[in-house]
Structure 1
Amino acid sequence: MSEEFRLWSKDFVLICLANFFYFGSFYFLIPTLPQYVDMIGGSPGQVGLVMGLFTLASVIVRPYLGNMADRHGRKILMLLGSGFFILFPVIYNQVQSFVPLYLARIAHGLAHASFLAASIAYVADMAPPQRRGEVMGVYATSNVVAMALFPALGTAVIEDTGSFPYLFTLSALTAAAGFLAVALLGEIRSQAGRDIKQAGIWEVGRRREVLIPSLALFSGATSYGAVITFLPLFAPQRGLADFGLFFTVYAVSTILSRVMVGKLSDRIGRRKVILPFMAVLALAVFLFPFLGSLWLLALIGVLFGLGFGAFMPALNALVVDYTSPSDRGSALGFFTAFMDVGITTGAMILGLVGGRLGYPAMFNLGGAIILAGIFVFAVYMKPAERSASR
C-alpha cells in the first residue's frame, strides 16, 4: 500500500461509514430484541437462546469466512454480510413463533461473521504497514460511535411508539446505508490467494503470533462481557441508579484511546502499548468492588475505556504484522472470534460466579483473568516484534 494513504480518502471514509451503519443496524436490536421475544411470549431462557444463537453461529464460521475472503476478495463477503443484514429485520417482523426465529438468528449470525471477517481484513489491506495501528484504531471508532448512539435510539423508539415494525424498518434502512457504502468501495485486491498456497484455517490459528494475541483479547473480553451485562444490576445495589454515566464516559475514552494510542503503537511498538493498557483495564475491573460514588464510577469508565479501547486495535495490528496477506482473512477471523467468545464467557460463566459469590467476587475474578492474559502475552509473545512490512 502506498505511503500516500490518507484518512480522508474515499475508500477509507466509505469503509468507516459502512461499519458505522452496519453496526447501527446491529445495535438497534441489541436492547430491543429481548423485549420483542418477551412480547411474543418468550421465556427468559428463550430470550437467551435467541441472543446466543446469533453469537454462536458467528463465532463458529468466522475463520472459514475469513478464509473465503482471502480466496475470493473482501468486497463480495462484505456485500453478502451487509446485504443479508437488510433482510433479517424484515424477517423478524414476520416471525411469531420460535423455531423460525431461532433459524433466522443463526442465519443472521452467519451474515455477521461474513461482514466482520472481510471488513477488518479490508482495512488491514488498506493500511500502510507503518501506520497500521493508527488506521485500524481510527476505523474501530466507527463501531464505538454506533454503540454510543443506536442502542439508546432503539430503546427510545420502542418507548415512544411501542412499534416493533417501525424499529425493524429503521434497522433494515440503516443496514441498507451500510450496504450502499460497501457497494461504492473499490476492491483492493481482485484475488488474495489464487497464486499463493494458503495455510489451513487451524494451522493459521495455532500460530503463536495469532493464538497468543487471541488469548489476550479473550481475557479482556471476558471482563467486558461481565461488566456490560451486570453493571446495570450491580450499580443500583451500591446506590447508583444513574449508571448510564459509565457508558457515556467509557464510549468517549474508548474513542480517544483508539485514535491516539493506535498511532503510538506504530511508533513505539505494539507490545509497549498492549501490556500497559491491559494493566489499566485490569485496574478498572479491580476497582468495581469499591464502587460507591459517581466520581469513582466515572473514573472506572475512563480507565476501562482507555484500556479496552487501546489494547484491542493494537492486538489487531499485531496479528496483521505477523500474517501474510494471503492468510490475513483467516487470521483475523480467528482472532476476532475470541472477542465474542470472551463476551459470552463473561456474561455466562462470570455471571454464575456473581450469582453464587456476589458481584465483587465476580469482578475480582475478571481482573485476575486479565492478569493471566498479561502473563501469557508477556511470556509467550516475542518481545522483538517483526518489522511492519506486510
Structure 2
Amino acid sequence: MTPQAKPMLLPPILRLFLFSMVLANIAGGMIWFLLPLYLADLGASVTQIGLTFTITGFVLLALQIFGGYLSDTIGRLQTIAIGSVGGLLGDILLLLAPGWGWAVVAIAISEVSAAAVVPSFPSFIAEQSTEEQRGRVFGISESIYMVVNVIAPLLAGFLASSLGFKAMIGIATFIYAIAVVLRIWMARNAQQTVDGNGGKPSFSGLRQQLFTTFGLITAGGLLLWLLVTDGVRDISMRLSSELVPLYLEQVGGLSIQNIGVLGALFGLGWMLSTIPSGWAADRFGERRSIAAGFFVQFVSFMLLVNADSLWSFGFAWFLFGAGVGTMNPAFQSLVSKAVPANMRGMAYGFFQTSLGFLSLPAPFIGAQLWERFNPQLPFILTGLLALVGMVLAWLTLRTRPSASKE
C-alpha cells in the first residue's frame, strides 16, 4: 500500500499570505519602531508618550474581539483586507499630523488594522497546517514574517536620520498601500480556498461566541493558565517596550541609525529562533519552549540595564529577540489546539483583549517609574516578571492536547 504523502508545510496560498504580511509589516515596523522618537519630535514628553500608547490601546481592546468574530464569520483574508484600509488611513493621518495630539488620533485609527490582523493571522496559519506539524508551520511562518524586524529598523533608522521622520513615514505609507492592494486582491480571489463559517455577522452571533469562549477559559485547565501566563508576559513587555528607543538614545547615547541596527539584531534573533522552537514544540511539547523563552528574555534585560556600548546593547537585544521567537510559535500552537477550529479568531481576539485590559496601564506606569525613580527600573521589572512567567509556564502548562487528525 502506497504511504500517504505528507501535506506541504507551506502551501501556495500561505506563501502569498506571508508575502503580503511581510510587505505590510515592513511598513508598519518602520513607523512603530521609531514612533516614540517621532512623538517626542512632535513635542510629547516621556509621560505623554506613555499616555499615548495607553489611550490608543483602548481602541485595539474595543475592536479586537469583534475582529476575531468577523474573522470566524466572513473569513480571515476578508477581515484582514477590511482592517488594512483603516490602517492605511491612519498612516496617512500620522504623516500629516501637526502635533502629538493629532498623532494620537492617527495611531488610534491605525489600530483598526491590528484588530483585524492579530486574531486572523494565527487562525489562518492554523487552518493551513495539520496538528502534528503546527509548531513547525508557526515557526517557519514566523521566521519568514520576522524578516520584517531585520529590514524595517535598518530602513527606518537610515531614512529618518538622512531624510527626517516625515519622509520615512511617507515611504512606509507607500509600501503599506501596496500591501493593502495585494490583500484586497487575495480577499476577492481566494474566497473559495479560505472562507469563514458561512454565516453573517450579527450581535447575537458575537454574543454567543463570546460567552462560549469565556466559558472555555473560566472552566479552568489549559486555556486559563495560558491566559495567565501570557498575561504576565504582556504586562512585563508593555512596562518597557515603548520606552526602548528613548532609553537607547537618552541613556545609551546611541544615534537613530544605531538604534535601527539594534532593532535589526532583535529581529534577527527572533527570526533565527522560531524554526528550532517550532520543531522543539512539536517534538517535546510547547511548555519547554515557552519556559525557555521567558528565561532568555530575563537574561537579555539584565544585560540591557548593564550595557555600556553598542556591542553590549546589541547582544542584549539579539537575545531578547531570540527569547520572543522561542516562545511565540509554542504559544500560538497551544492556543490553536485548545479551541475549536471555527472559534480560533474569537479565541485569539479574546486572549489579546483580556491581556490588553490587564496591561493597559503598563506603558504609563513604566514612564512614571522612569521619571520618578530611574530609567533602568521599568526594564529590571520586565526581566523579573519574565522569571515569574517561566515558573508559571513550567508548572501549569503540563497538559498538552492530544494529537488528532484535522
Q: TM-score, normalised by structure 1?
A: 0.83
1:14 aligns with 2:30: no
Count of aligned pairs:
387
Aligned to 1:181: 182
Q: Compared with structure 1, are the counterparts of its residues 93 and 127 closer, same or farther at alpha carbon in structure 2 (3 Å cutoff)? A: same
The structural deviation recorded for 1:286 is 3.2
Q: 1:265-280 counterparts in 2 under 5 A?
A: 265-280=281-296
Q: Please give the secondary structure, in 1, of the residue aligned with 2:146.
A: helix
Q: TM-score, normalised by structure 2?
A: 0.80
Q: Deviations over 1:137-190 (max 9, x none)?
A: 2222344322332244234334433472x5444233222322233332634443
* Greater alpha carbon shift after TM alignment, 12-21 vs 346-355: 346-355
Aligned to 2:67: 65
Q: 1:1-390 counterparts in 2 under 5 A?
A: 4-31=6-33, 33=35, 47-96=49-98, 102-162=104-164, 164=166, 166-182=167-183, 183-184=185-186, 186-187=190-191, 188-192=193-197, 194=199, 198=209, 200=211, 201-206=213-218, 208-226=221-239, 228-232=241-245, 241=254, 244=259, 246-292=262-308, 296-337=312-353, 347-381=363-397, 383-389=398-404
The structural deviation recorded for 1:319 is 0.5
- Once residues 227 and 377 of structure 1 are traced to their aligned partners in structure 2, the CA distance between those partners, rounded to angstroms, is 22
Q: Compared with structure 1, are the counterparts of its residues 341 and 16 closer, same or farther at alpha carbon in structure 2 (3 Å cutoff)? A: farther
Q: Compared with structure 1, are the counterparts of its residues 338 and 20 closer, same or farther at alpha carbon in structure 2 (3 Å cutoff)? A: farther
The one-letter amino acid paired with 1:203 is G
Counterpart contact for 2:293–2:322, Cα < 8 Å: yes
Percent identity of paired positions between Structure 1 and Structure 2? 19
The structural deviation recorded for 1:47 is 4.8
The one-letter amino acid paired with 2:148 is A
Counterpart contact for 1:79–1:179, Cα < 8 Å: yes
- Once residues 231 and 47 of structure 1 are traced to their aligned partners in structure 2, the CA distance between those partners, rounded to angstroms, is 12
Q: Compared with structure 1, are the counterparts of its residues 340 and 273 closer, same or farther at alpha carbon in structure 2 (3 Å cutoff)? A: same
Counterpart contact for 2:262–2:314, Cα < 8 Å: yes
The one-letter amino acid paired with 1:177 is I
Q: Compared with structure 1, are the counterparts of its residues 72 and 205 closer, same or farther at alpha carbon in structure 2 (3 Å cutoff)? A: farther
Q: Which runs of 5+ in 2 are unaligned?
A: none
Q: Deviations over 1:235-286 (max 9, x none)?
A: 6788774774643432212111112211221111111222223222223323
- Once residues 94 and 242 of structure 2 are traced to their aligned partners in structure 1, the CA distance between those partners, rounded to angstroms, is 24
- Once residues 336 and 178 of structure 2 are traced to their aligned partners in structure 1, the CA distance between those partners, rounded to angstroms, is 28
* Greater alpha carbon shift after TM alignment, 183-192 vs 31-40: 31-40
- Once residues 293 and 28 of structure 1 are traced to their aligned partners in structure 2, the CA distance between those partners, rounded to angstroms, is 24
Q: Deviations over 1:82-132 (max 9, x none)?
A: 222233323344554777654443332123211222222111211221111
